[in-house]
Amino acid sequence: MDGGRTGPAGVGLGPVLVTRPEPEASAWVEVLRSQGFAARAWPLIEIGEPQAPELRQALDRWRRDWVDCDALMFVSSSAVQRFMASSDLARPAADAPVRFWAPGPGTARVLAHALQTLGLPADRIDSPLPDAAQFDSEHLWPVVRAQAAPGRRVLVVRGRTVGQPEAAEGGLAGHGRDWLMARCREAGAQVDLVVAYERRPAVFDVAALRQLAGMNAPGSVWLLSASESVAALPGPSAGVDWSAACAVVTHPRIAEAAQALGFGRVVQTRPALPEVLRVLESLGSP
């Protein structure tokens, strides 16, 4: 199904590969197909429970103790789903003053649903303004800065990527959650973190590499929402040439990774499905 669309040079647009983890990938594919795009789910990151015993123990403890925090920062919708998906999750008092931070609208939507099951209103959620240039930690900080005061306790709920070394906390300036954690500590807040899930890069065996044939041809579009997703793709060393394919990315750091891999065209948009649809419409216009 190609919807009769053409690419910017008159090349047929398709397929459109959605690389988000499941179940998000299939949900996006359903919407894209309803709009006439030849969409296909190709998750490049698998989400699973932390495997190390010490990480699981820490997660169990924080599921009980999170009510003692002043704010919880969830780095993604997966962080919300994995942290909240436990019968041992503590139930807060109705008047508990805890706030919930989300770096973007997707995480905020999942968080609002999770809070509803806990009897808490969605107005407890803080996230970047709707017209923010990016949905990330850097644009969340101005919204929550006043909450990071001496005596306050912030819990960062995050994931980790299997096979990659952990970045130093408070590392590279302007680099995601580490940057936000550093700002909170500078403001006097106590910051703890817990790993709620693990990301495992997709493995491309010989059969998967064969399937890639045609998916990096002119007109093919890859929707990339994480740098780890780009890192999971095979590159020139595996005999895969991306110079004819287009990458639609949701952050400058992902754009840099896609360009380094060799994508012939990289288009940046915000990580909201309506805006991704508009980009695809523009790519599919004669």
pLDDT tens digits for range 181-205: 999 999 999 999 999 999 888 888 8
Of 123, 187, 129, the residue nearest 153 (C-alpha): 187
The Cβ of residue 160 has, within 10 Å, a number of other Cβ atoms equal to 17
Is residue 157 within 8 Å of 180, Cβ to Cβ? Answer: no
Same domain, 244 and 190: no
Contact 128, 137 (CB under 8 A): no
**Pairing relationship of beta strands 190-201 and 45-48 according to DSSP bridges:** antiparallel
Report if residue 27 sits inside a domain: yes
pLDDT at 164: 60
Q: Is residue 123 part of a domain?
A: yes
Percent of the chain at pLDDT above 70? Answer: 91
Give the per-residue pLDDT at 6. 41
Residue numbers of the domain that contains 98: 48-200
Which domain-ending residue is among 200, 228, 253? 200
Residue 73, domain member (yes or no):
yes
Do 157 and 218 belong to one domain?
no
The answer to pTM > 0.75 is no
Q: Is residue 3 part of a domain?
A: no
Both 70 and 189 in a single domain? yes
- pLDDT at residue number 170: 30
CATH of the domain at 175: 3.40.50.10090
Do 181 and 276 fall into the same domain? no
Q: Are residues 74 and 166 in the same domain?
A: yes
Per-residue pLDDT tens for 76-127?
889 999 999 888 899 998 788 999 999 988 899 999 999 999 999 999 999 9
The answer to whether residues 121 and 181 belong to one domain is: yes
The domain boundary, picked from 155, 176, 200, lies at 200
Asked if residue 56 and residue 150 are part of one domain, the reply reads: yes
Do residues 86 and 225 both lie within one domain?
no
**pLDDT above 70: residue 41:** yes
Q: How sure is the predictor about 162, in pLDDT bands with cuts at 50, 70 and 90? A: confident
User: Mean pLDDT throughout 250-255?
Assistant: 90
Binning pLDDT at 50, 70 and 90, where does residue 163 land? low
Number of domains in the chain: 2
Last residue of a domain, one of 171, 200, 229: 200
Closest CA to 284 of 246, 242, 254: 246
